[in-house]
Amino acid sequence: MNIKIENPEIAVIIPCLNEKTTIAKVVGDFKAELPQAKIYVYDNGSTDNSVELAENAGAIVRVEPHKGKGNVVRRMFEEIEADIYIMIDGDDTYPAKEVHHLLKPVVEEGVDMVVGDRLAHTENHKDSISWLHQLGNKFFLLMLNTLFRSNFKDILSGYRVMNRDFVKNIPLLAQEFEVETEMTIQALERRYIVVERPIHYRSRPDGSESKVNTFRDGFKILFTIVWILRDYRPMTFFSIVAGGFLGTGMILGSVIIQEFIQTGEVLRMPTALLSIGLVLIGVFVWLTGFMISTINRRFNELDTLMKKRR
């Protein structure tokens, strides 16, 4: 909203699942950097003593019984009241000292969300991010930036600073690790101001294990991008699908037409019928996208009017 925040109330929000090795250090580091902030740890069913360690370190501990990081983030956004929210993972991979670098655009420049770009420093990649995760990051970045005409560099970062307007007004449906992707796309669609700032990123310490399942969570991130594209940019989504049907139908049809020109007969009737069917499906899919896009536009107009009247 481009509004500077004077003397903001700051909340540090930390999702946690079995982080006994690191959670106390993360809480302590943020208490040292931001002594005026309230630090919340939301436990997601830890079977170790993470809760006790977080409480002893000075955090306000709450519990989210529904499994999944997305469920935790949604609950934090609903329950916690603050002017600025700092979301950080509890695995001590993000340095707390860089929080001031991320806070400044939100406090002084009216930015809605600042994302810590882990990939800006090449040394971050060598040991802290596996080659498979690097490959996945690049694929999702290319896909999102192409489909949504954006220029993000790290959509999966768990280090983010957000203002109250953003936190309280984006609808989050993601249940697990696709939540960061959904937050980024929702910000794009609702025209919030998002900037990225380079940060350092380090490997998990010994005894700390990642909860990310590379392939399962990778597919969830992929489907999140596709579903949001379908729901918020139906003309783009349905045009792509329609193009697939139309292109295939026209390729098959060109073969039939060529044979007809040469022989004067339709030699492959099943192929001809299939070609016509694919073209008709393509046209129908495109028209569907057109109608849904028109409906979406009306809802966007209503949403804009409602924001103006708040």
| 138-167 residue pLDDT tens | 888 888 888 888 899 998 899 999 999 999
| 198-256 residue pLDDT tens | 999 988 777 666 666 667 777 888 888 888 788 878 888 999 999 999 999 999 999 99
How confident is the model over 121-133, as a mean pLDDT?
58
* Helix H or strand E segment including 178: none
Alpha helices in the chain (DSSP H): 23-33, 50-56, 69-79, 99-109, 123-128, 131-148, 164-169, 179-189, 214-232, 234-263, 269-308
| 10-42 residue pLDDT tens | 999 999 999 999 999 999 999 999 999 999 999
Query: How many whole angstroms separate alpha carbon 160 and alpha carbon 37?
Result: 15
Q: 265 pLDDT band (50/70/90 cuts)?
A: confident
* Helix H or strand E segment including 15: strand 10-16
Q: 1 pLDDT band (50/70/90 cuts)?
A: very low
As a whole number, the mean pLDDT across the chain is 88
pTM, 2 dp: 0.78
The tokens for 122 are 């090449």
Higher per-residue pLDDT: 15 or 126: 15
Query: How many whole angstroms separate alpha carbon 278 and alpha carbon 249?
Result: 5
Q: Are the beta carbons of 223 and 150 closer than 8 angstroms?
A: no
247-273 b/e (C-beta count within 10 Å ≥ 16 → b): ebbeebbeebeebeeeeeeeeeeeebe
The tokens for 210 are 């990642």
